[in-house]
Amino acid sequence: MVIIRVALPIPKRQLFDYRFDGKALDIGVRVAVPFGPRKLIGVVWETSDQSVWDISKLKFIEAVLDDSPIFDPILIKLCSWLAQYYKHPIGDVVQTAMPVALRKGESSQEKPIEFWTLSHQGQTTDLSSLSRAPKQRALLEALQKQDCLKSKAKSEFGAAAIKALVEKALVESISKQVSQEPTWQQNLVVRDKPKANVEQAIAISCIEAKLDQYGCFLLDGITGSGKTEVYLQAIEQVLKQGKQVLILVPEIGLTPQTVHRFKYRFGIEVGVLHSGLNNNERLQVWQQSASAKLGIIIGTRSAIFTPMLKPGLLIVDEEHDSSYKQQDGLRYHARDLAVIRAREENIPLVLGSATPALETLNNALSGKYQHLKLQQRAGNASLATQHVFDIRQQPLKFGVAQGMLERMSQHLQQGSQVMLFINRRGYAPALMCHQCGFVEHCKHCDKPYTVHKQLYKLQCHHCGSAKPIPKTCQQCHSHELVSMGVGTEQLEQGLAEYFPQYSSIRIDSDSARGKNKLDKMLNSINNNEHQILIGTQILSKGHHFPNVTLVLILDVDGALFSADYRAAEHLAQLITQLAGRAGRAEKPGEMWLQTHDPGHPLLQDLINNGYSHFAQYALLERQHANLPPHSFQALFKAQALSARDAFDFLQQIAQLFSHVDGVSCLGPIPALMEKRQGHFRMQLLLQSAQRSSLQKAIGQQIQQIESFQLANKIRWSLDIDPQDFT
Ligand code: ADP
Ligand code: ZN
Ligand code: ZN
């Protein structure tokens, strides 16, 4: 009799013991087991011939779902590391690492691939008979040349055309068995490879020198310095050895344009893992990567869990991006996990950024990572000059100073594009009564509602609740309600009235929602259909706008005075990234920042000396203040309907750590956002100069904490290496 210890999707820190009538199962195989009245799918994590429970009372494994493990030994190790480091239940870690389709019990074997093909009748049909249905005609014409993948047919010709042809019995479905052997290596080409400049050549040869071993590189290159080109040339060597490359990119940086660059260079299929895929499509990329049928896999955060049969290189692009840190459930950082994975796989890892995170920079400066620098712009881009604009006592029109409007006008008249950045979606941050000063707040979060004029709604950006814009003041019943501050919508409207001869486009998470919408917008900008671009964070990520010569940043003052110690770092990254979006050699750009504090040392340092100077100074400041990366943190968060419960729970935790050597405790204090969705929010911050002391202390106490009575009554979480203190 074998005892099988199974990782189950249950928020408990343990494995569950089952009996199995047969020979021992491999670690990493999925099984179906009874759990109370339910049936669950879990993963075999350990096997044994004993149990601490009465063996005769253990239930039996009901079914074994896989012939061979779905995780390779390294992914199994990574899961165990995650559970241990983030103090997270192993069952939930395993779930996070698994594609949804496998969690639901789908077969892990690769399925035959489905194609559309011509029916017997279709083969003899004359194209001209479809002249009035151009899409159907185009599809039929394509099928006369070769069978078409179903997903490809749908995206290129539309579901309606397919349906019509099926109904006319001209096309039919066939499935083809997938090939057993990877074929991409035979199709590999190298197209339009530029000659690397000196800095690039050095970076490439440093990486190539370490292709068969672990090594971590920080590719620290200003925007447009040719980092992607360095990736491409390093990837080329890896692919030529028949090995695979996994590339992580930030959430909104993953556009078809990005993917196209890799596809085009090497002429091979690229596996893309993005949020738009359905469960089966995601599983397919996972399987093809696991069997090395894909040479290149690109994806966002969770792609770090993609198995590779022949791993050769890991790349994390824009490694400073905050989307790499998961903010709920298993709060892992994909960049940090990439370091662990590269070490386990014994392959190199390249972290690329124009604005490295202070953590990463610190590792490069201390020699832990190899620091590769690109300080010249490659290709035909040139860096924008940077300036501050003092807006004290200046009248503002929809948030823009008169002097800036004049500058915009000059650039527009020269046929250039202008980009305005603002941190707020919506029309205005708040609605205020002009008579009595009353501001409409969300009841659940105690924060002002944002005015969305187009939807005619007040919406809370913290909990999403919404209500119609009121006509009168709740407090004094005056009709004079005015919008305070400026959001993207109001800016767009104001500019449209001020510059009626130019077209403007707004890019924020409201307007860019929907499949391929962002990509269409980016194309229309590069085709010069719009002259004025208005946007939020999305504009700062990865896209280059060669015809933009003026970048205007409207509101940075909030971040200069934030209580969050990372705000300065994030602001500096944002400003530098925005400045890097613009210009080309013959059309250099300029960037202007509107501020009430033009002499602020951070702004001055950044603008006069650049990001890397700023970052070294910021690292010194962190050192003096004992803040990360010069110390290590863990954050307990609690939220409850009663502030007292949240406080008491964290207070009990604080007591557990109060006598631990080398670990200090700050709190409980209210979170930056004290109330959200009707819950009071509190935090307790643990900090230590030694990562190991903090890890050990939490490891010793976590079960005790879970056994507190309040732990079951309120919502709480533990965030190791927290990034977000809101
Ligand atoms: P980054 O990733 O650092 O933003 P890219 O790799 O996208 O930079 O390069 C910026 C531009 O310069 C691109 O248009 C790219 O094709 C071009 N480029 C990069 N390296 C070279 C080179 N060695 N020779 C000519 N053009 C280059
Ligand atoms: Zn709210
Ligand atoms: Zn009023």
- The 3-state secondary structure of 222-280 reads CCCCCHHHHHHHHHHHHHHCCCEEEEECCHHHCCHHHHHHHHHHHCCCEEEECCCCCHH
Ligand closest to the CA atom of residue 381: 1
Q: Does the CB atom of residue 228 touch ligand 1 within 6 A?
A: yes
Query: Counting Cβ atoms within 10 Å, is residue 191 exposed (0-12), middle (13-18) or buried (19+)?
Result: exposed
Which contacts (CB < 8 Å, 24+ apart) does range 476-480 have?
476/433, 476/435, 476/436, 476/438, 478/433, 478/434, 478/435, 478/436, 480/433, 480/434, 480/435
pLDDT value of position 687 = 95
Q: Does the CB atom of residue 229 touch ligand 1 within 6 A?
A: yes
Instruction: Identify the three-state secondary structure at position 462.
Output: coil
Rounded to the nearest whole angstrom, what is the distance from the C-alpha of residue 675 to the centroid of ligand 2? 9
Q: What are residue 526's phi and psi, to 5 degrees?
A: -70, -20
Euclidean distance between CA atoms 606 and 590, whole angstroms? 15
Q: Does the CB atom of residue 224 touch ligand 1 within 6 A?
A: yes
Residue nearest to atom 4 of ligand 1 (CA): 224
Ligand closest to the CA atom of residue 476: 3
Instruction: Identify the three-state secondary structure at position 682.
Output: strand
Helix (H) or strand (E) holding 468: strand 466-468
Q: Which residue has the tokens 């196209």?
A: 260
Q: Does the CB atom of residue 28 touch ligand 1 within 6 A?
A: no
Ligand closest to the CA atom of residue 474: 3
pLDDT value of position 105 = 93
| Contacts (Cβ under 8 Å, ≥6 apart) of 659 | none
Query: Counting Cβ atoms within 10 Å, is residue 124 exposed (0-12), middle (13-18) or buried (19+)?
Result: exposed
Beta strands in 62-105 (DSSP E): 63-64
Beta strands in 170-214 (DSSP E): 171-176
| Contacts (Cβ under 8 Å, ≥6 apart) of 358 | 569, 615, 618, 619, 622, 628, 629
Residue type, 428: A
Give the burial string for 650-684 (b: 16+ CB within 10 Å, else e).
bebbbebbeebeebebebbeebeeebbeebbbbbb
Euclidean distance between CA atoms 200 and 234, whole angstroms? 11
pLDDT digits (tens, 9 = 90+) for 1-31: 789 999 999 988 899 999 998 888 999 999 9
Ligand closest to the CA atom of residue 464: 2
Give the pair of three-digit tokens for residue 17: 């013991």
Residue nearest to atom 6 of ligand 1 (CA): 226
Angle at 355 between CA 577 and CA 562, to 5 degrees: 80
Strand partners, 215: 348
To test the pocket of ligand 1, the residue of 204, 225, 227, 228 to mutate (highest count of ligand atoms within 8 Å of its CB) is 228
Beta strands in 305-446 (DSSP E): 311-317, 348-353, 370-374, 385-390, 396-397, 400-401, 417-421, 430-433
Q: Which residues of the chain have pLDDT under 70?
A: 177-180, 424-429, 484-486, 509-515, 542, 558, 561-563, 585
Euclidean distance between CA atoms 458 and 430, whole angstroms? 9
Closest atom of ligand 1 to 221 CA is 3
Query: Do the Cβ atoms of 478 and 507 come closer than 8 Å?
Result: no
Euclidean distance between CA atoms 218 and 367, whole angstroms? 11
pLDDT value of position 537 = 76
What's the length of the chain? 726
Rounded to the nearest whole angstrom, what is the distance from the C-alpha of residue 427 to the centroid of ligand 3? 20
Query: Do the Cβ atoms of 336 and 368 come closer than 8 Å?
Result: no
Residue nearest to atom 8 of ligand 1 (CA): 226
Ligand closest to the CA atom of residue 462: 2
Measured in whole angstroms, how far is the alpha carbon of residue 429 from the centre of its chain?
Answer: 26
Rounded to the nearest whole angstrom, what is the distance from the C-alpha of residue 379 to the centroid of ligand 1? 5
pLDDT digits (tens, 9 = 90+) for 166-188: 998 889 888 876 666 778 888 89
Euclidean distance between CA atoms 676 and 462, whole angstroms? 7
Helix (H) or strand (E) holding 92: helix 90-97
Helix (H) or strand (E) holding 162: helix 159-167
pTM (predicted TM-score): 0.87
> Strand 466-468's sheet: what is its strand order?
450-452, 457-459, 466-468
Cβ atoms < 10 Å from Cβ of 614: 26
Q: Does the CB atom of residue 194 touch ligand 1 within 6 A?
A: yes
Give the burial string for 511-542 (b: 16+ CB within 10 Å, else e).
bbeeeeebeebbeebeeeebbbbbbbbbbbbb
To test the pocket of ligand 1, the residue of 198, 229, 233, 578 to mutate (highest count of ligand atoms within 8 Å of its CB) is 229
Residue nearest to atom 14 of ligand 1 (CA): 379
The residue among 30, 166, 159 whose CA lies nearest residue 98 is 30
Residue type, 148: C
Q: What are residue 289's phi and psi, to 5 degrees?
A: -75, -40
- 8-state DSSP, 178: P
**Residue 311: is the preceding peptide bond cis (ω within 30°)?**
no
Closest atom of ligand 1 to 542 CA is 4
